[in-house]
Amino acid sequence: MEKMIDKIPEIKNARNHYHALKRNLNKERRKIKSLYEKHFFVNMITSKDVDDFELEDYISQLFQDLTYHTNKPSTKNRRDLDVIVSLNSRTIGIEVKNGNFPSENDMFQARKYAIRYLKKNKQMHPQIVWNNVKTNQEFDSSRIEDVEGNFYGIITTKELLKGYLKVKQKIIDLNTFDNLINKTGLIKFSNSVIRKIG
């Protein structure tokens, strides 16, 4: 029930303004919550607690958020790439590694699976994406030499996230990100690498 004092125009206008602000605040709070949910993968892509299948999904979401077309081959057939992403007629076949330092055989999986697609006239750039936060190791010189000689790319999830954030923060454009992510060898999004191509 409206109080008599609320009939004073100044008070009535102030209360109406307050309620409008409160509605807008709730609307903005819901928007922030929705954005946090949409970008949840940003925190999880370099998590120690993420499992293999979740990591594949988060990597797929990262590329999707950058407007790549993404595809996860059927989980029934584990003898396939984990994620396939495409942009501007270029396709990357990604094999996701999580946890321990990938063995030499594991490092060749992306290349092996990409060759199977090539036999079906589907060309793609093979790539290994490794979540190295559990061991905090980096790819060693032998693995870097192997990938350079076999024409595919390797990147850690930390570095992939760095590239993603540089696109979102407009430090680099999507075309630069795509050119770097399609490179052979060890892929980096460091400032020195970006300066060289800029």
pTM for this model (two decimals): 0.87
Q: Do 24 and 117 fall into the same domain?
A: no
Q: Do 59 and 33 fall into the same domain?
A: no
pLDDT in tens, 108-126: 999 999 998 888 888 999 9
Between 58-67, 85-94, 101-110, the lowest mean confidence (pLDDT) is in: 101-110
Q: Do 16 and 77 fall into the same domain?
A: no
Element (H, E) at 138: none
Q: Do 31 and 76 fall into the same domain?
A: no
Q: Do 108 and 188 fall into the same domain?
A: yes
Q: Do 52 and 34 fall into the same domain?
A: no
Q: Do 24 and 119 fall into the same domain?
A: no
Q: Do 64 and 121 fall into the same domain?
A: yes
With beta carbons less than 8 A apart as the criterion, state whether 47 and 58 touch. Answer: no
Q: Do 51 and 113 fall into the same domain?
A: yes
Q: Coil, strand, or helix at residue 75?
A: coil
Residue 20, token pair as written in the block: 């409008």
Q: What is the rounded distance in angstroms from the CA atom of residue 57 to the CA atom of residue 52?
A: 9
**148: exposed, middle or buried (C-beta count within 10 Å: 0-12, 13-18, 19+)?**
middle
Contacts of 5 by beta carbon, 8 Å cutoff, 6+ apart: 11
With beta carbons less than 8 A apart as the criterion, state whether 88 and 178 touch. Answer: yes
With beta carbons less than 8 A apart as the criterion, state whether 6 and 12 touch. Answer: yes
Q: Do 17 and 80 fall into the same domain?
A: no
pLDDT for residue 120? 86
Identify the CATH number of the domain in which residue 174 sits: 3.40.1350.10
**Domains of the chain: total:** 2
Q: Which domain holds residue 21?
A: 4-38
Q: What is the rounded distance in angstroms from the CA atom of residue 152 to the CA atom of residue 101?
A: 18
